Amino acid sequence: MSDTPELDQVVDARRKLSAYAGFPRTYWVLYGVALVLMAGLPIWSSFLPGQAFNLQWVLLAICLAAAAYSVLQRRRSGVHLPRQISAYPSAQRPRYTVLAVTLASVFIIYALVGNGHRTVALIVLIPVAAVIFAGQLWTRARMRDDIAAGRVAL
Amino acid sequence: MTAPDAPGADTASDDAVIDRHPIFETGPRLALCALLQGADWVEFGTVRDLIGASDSAVSKHSRTLEDAGYLEIRKGSVGRRPRTWLRLSPPGRTALRGHLAWLTGLRNAVDGSQ
């Protein structure tokens, strides 16, 4: 029997709350699709000349859908977790790593398409999207760890 | 996955003062506050379900913590349904960290003496 059942209660409460940092499988599938669409935008634009305007509307719709999902999830779950990454000390490094990889990838893919290497850009897109996707999974896992360990800084 | 810290080892504030707060020692208050520590706002029903307490218990203890200045309570609605949201206040967070640090020190002292 634990000498401090109070601390066990604390651990249990934090563990239950940390589950709310996860996303359902459907979200991750849709996120993967959106990621490929957005990261490969210069590639799709080159396949569909004159449709850049329409593709931007698609991009806007994806962003609005993501924002709406976030709002609905907070309402339905009854839990408002901190939005800013600075609240999760362990999740900051993966988040900034993903950000750096994303920015570099966008630059590289635009450069490849701009120089006529569309096929190479398409090949590069696959591992890039995989790395960004894995980085997001890593970030959410770290957020869960911080919540479960009581490291959230508000 | 990182190893969990001791519940009182809150790295968000390494200079947490070790300070016992008896207000947390009644009923589910400590579990309630530990739950709120990791979130912005948590809805009343979700708090009740997660700590396994009744509506009246959560209501009574949250009111006591609010009177002590440790909790903020916000009433709103989702659609037509009224909702109540709870959040730890900054003094509440400080007090909770101090109390958890005291409990962890107590556990370490007990473990060390065995």
Residue B111, amino acid: D
What global pTM score does this model have? 0.85
- A77 to B46: CB separation less than 8 angstroms, yes or no: yes
CA distance B94 to chain A (A): 11
pLDDT score of A52 more than 90: no
B3 within a domain of the structure (yes/no): no
Crossing angle of helices B29-37 and A5-18, rounded to 10°: 40
Residue B29 placed within a domain = yes
B5 found inside a domain: no
Binary contact (A17, B38; C-beta < 8 A): yes
Partner-chain contact B7 A150, CB within 8 Å: yes
| Chain-chain contact of A79 with B46 (C-beta, under 8 angstroms) | yes
Block residue for tokens 């969990």: B4
Q: Higher model confidence: residue B14 or residue A103?
A: A103
Chain A residue nearest residue B26, CA to CA: A6
**pLDDT surpassing 70 at residue B80:** yes
Residue A13 φ/ψ, nearest 5 degrees: -65, -45
Residues B46-52: contacts with CB under 8 Å, at least 24 apart:
B46/A77, B46/A78, B46/A79, B47/B86, B50/A13, B50/A16, B50/A17, B51/A13, B52/B28
Q: How many domains does chain B have?
A: 1
Q: What residues of B are in contact with residue A17 (Cβ under 8 Å)?
A: 35, 38-39, 42, 50
Residue A96 scores a pLDDT above 90 = yes
Strands B81-88 and B71-78: antiparallel
Rg of chain A, C-alpha, whole Å: 19
State the residue range of the domain holding B31: 22-103
Query: Does some domain include residue B70?
Result: yes
Does a structural domain hold residue B46?
A: yes
B50, pLDDT greater than 50? yes
Model pLDDT for residues A99-141, shown as the tens digit of each residue: 999 999 999 999 999 999 999 999 999 999 999 999 999 999 9
Residue with token string 């591992």:
A127
What is the residue-averaged pLDDT of chain A?
Answer: 89
Q: What is the pLDDT of residues B86-102, one digit of tens each?
A: 999 999 999 999 999 99
Tokens of B36: 């709120």
